[in-house]
Amino acid sequence: MDDDSCVGPISAPNLASQLAAAGHRFTGYAEDLPEVGYTGCVEGDYARKHNPWVNFSNVPAEANRPLSDLPDEYADLPTSSFLIPNLCHDMHDCDVATGDAWAREHLDGYVRWARDHDSLLIVTFDESESTSGDNRIVTFCVGPMVSPGQYSERVDHYRLLRTIQAMYGLPPLGHSADTEPITDVWRPDAR
């Protein structure tokens, strides 16, 4: 899909179905999602275009949850979780300061917890609004296995998917098979 249209249902394999087949749990938490399993395209500041698992018929409806369902105890999170801000808090429709405040409120506790619990947080944006044409996308990783710094290794969404698949021993899907996992961000003793 190369536009923002509302698609589905798609029955193809995907990260959520791969994780389930391997005995792992997946849940996506979307801000302003009106109800568990909601399949509408837009509701207030919620946009399905940023919530891809809802497009797949082989992902259970209960894996598509409102942000308000995010567990208070991070140890209760599934194996892999996605957290999708609404159109304001992802900085599509609001300024960076608003998005930063949201991220601080919703991610800071997990960042602190992840460092002590061998957990990984990956934050990435979907596109750049840059007029330069290079479409640089902010992506960062936090966790005890991450070596802090800036890296020149090219990272895109396919490489992120390939990296997550490799972490769980899953085969690559689609265009993720055309790339290698991210390697230079990991601490040598964490590989």
Q: What is the pLDDT of residues 151-176, one digit of tens each?
A: 888 888 899 999 999 999 999 999 99
12: in domain: no
Q: Is a pLDDT exceeding 90 seen at residue 5?
A: no
Please state, in angstroms and as integers, the Cα–Cα distance from residue 94 to each residue in 45, 87, 88, following that order. 11, 8, 5
The pLDDT of 5-23, averaged and rounded, is: 90
Alpha carbons 55 and 157: distance in angstroms, whole number: 17
DSSP β-bridge partners for residue 43: 46
88: in domain: yes
The pLDDT of 128-142, averaged and rounded, is: 68
56: in domain: yes
Q: Is a pLDDT exceeding 80 seen at residue 17?
A: yes
Q: Is a pLDDT exceeding 90 seen at residue 150?
A: no
Beta strands in 75-131, from DSSP E residues, in sequence order:
80-84, 121-124
Q: Which of 125, 123, 120, 126 is nearest to 167 (CA)?
A: 120
- How many structural domains comprise the chain? 1
97: in domain: yes
Alpha carbons 176 and 173: distance in angstroms, whole number: 6
Q: Is a pLDDT exceeding 90 seen at residue 105?
A: yes
50: in domain: yes
Q: Is a pLDDT exceeding 90 seen at residue 8?
A: no
% the chain with pLDDT above 70: 91
51: in domain: yes
Query: What range defines the domain where residue 54 resides?
Result: 22-190
2: in domain: no
At 24 the pLDDT is 96
- As given in the structure block, the two tokens for residue 49 are 């275009």
The pLDDT of 63-78, averaged and rounded, is: 94
Q: Is a pLDDT exceeding 60 seen at residue 149?
A: yes
49: in domain: yes
Using the 8-state DSSP alphabet, how is residue 29 labeled?
Answer: E
- As given in the structure block, the two tokens for residue 174 are 């689609």
- Asked if 136 and 128 touch (Cβ cutoff 8 Å), the reply is yes
